[in-house]
Amino acid sequence: MAINRKLWGKTPDGKPIYKYTMTNASGASVVLCSIGAAIVSINVPDRAGKLGDVVLGYGKPESYFGDGPCSGKVPGRYANRIAFGKFTLGGKEYELPINNGPNHLHGGPDGFQNQVWDSRKHKGGVEFKYVSADGEMGYPGNLVVVARYEWSEQNELRLTFSAKSDAPTIINLTNHVYFNLNCRGNIMRHFLRLNASEYLPTDETLIPLGDSAPVADTPMDFRKPKTIGRDSKKDFPALNYGKGYDACWVIDGYIPGQLQEAAELWSNRSGRTVKVFTTQPGVQVYTGNWLEGCPVGKRGRIWHDYDAVALECQHFPDSPNHPDYPGTVLKPGKTFHEAIIFAFGVKN
């Protein structure tokens, strides 16, 4: 496994921005950068063996700061939404910045995704570290987070998160990478299968109402593979609120710390596939419903709505305000540890 690091740019205050390229023996590669511990490119073969870049990303490092799609980055301290930017921990109410309608999203405007992380090549992978100060974006506790990426000879990208805090806090981490397995066009004819019999209904601001609901007999049913576009325009609350799919599914068979298959995405056109495994309880599927107007992509590409899909493995939205959801509290002396694997392949 070859890992190459190069200077990609600097912030206005002179902090270096690094880009890392991990290349396996077959020539398949992953490109990462230190802004938001981002995935910039994933180059994998189609059924004819031709390599292609299957993820949304930008050509200039400055485009990664404050982009609406949060492309390829690690949002935090809490990925997804917290209702009205408020939660209570240890009897104290905390207030977070409101940056998505009436709610707090992805850790706020200065969340992890908009920070330059420390980075290094380490033991056959690339590690990014970010230290989030007590009170940053309203969150309690000094938090140290490490995101580690490894790229295998079998074209599997493994992402592991670890974090520690010196005071009780909340945490929810994912990667917000967007896939287009054809490298162009929209993703409406991509096939998707989810290992999920239930999803979380929400209000119109995408905050969960409470209990999960069966996907059976609804457009949310991906237990058997179907194209993303087949039901995406149906008159259904979750689709109306999000202008398409933007919801959290409950992964079947969730056991804390144990890898489960969450999703499989593939294209009959290119033959490329990606299977997603995670230790986390949910997968937020977002079909790029608001990509229009995002920064110019690699090689000058202009992205449009529905040109890519994000499969964000994470804990549930607004979990701190739902005691019955899997817990997102991290206490001193404990280590947060979660994993996501993107395993690429081909179907003939």
315 is catalytic: no
d(C-alpha 58, C-alpha 296), whole Å: 6
Strand pairing report for 29-33 and 38-45: antiparallel
Contact status, residue 69 vs residue 291, Cβ threshold 8 Å? yes
Which of these is catalytic: 127, 150, 264, 312?
312
Backbone phi, psi, residue 273, to 5°: -135, 155
What is the 3-class SS of 23-77, one letter each residue?
ECCCCCEEEEECECCEEEEEEEECCCCCEEECECCECCHHHHCCCCCCCCCCCCC
- Which is catalytic among the residues 104, 127, 136, 176? 176
Is the separation of the CB atoms in 231 and 219 below 8 Å?
A: yes
Contact 88, 9 (CB under 8 A): no
Distance CA 199, CA 201 (A): 6
| Residue 190 appears among annotated catalytic residues | no
Task: Give the Cα separation of 258 and 277 in Å (integer).
Answer: 10
Helix (H, G, I), strand (E, B) or coil at 83: helix
Query: How does DSSP classify residue 183?
Result: S
Element housing 226 (H / E): strand 226-227
Which residues have C-beta within 8 Å of that of residue 340, sequence separation ≥ 6?
158, 159, 174, 175, 276, 277, 278, 279, 280, 313
Known catalytic residues?
176, 312
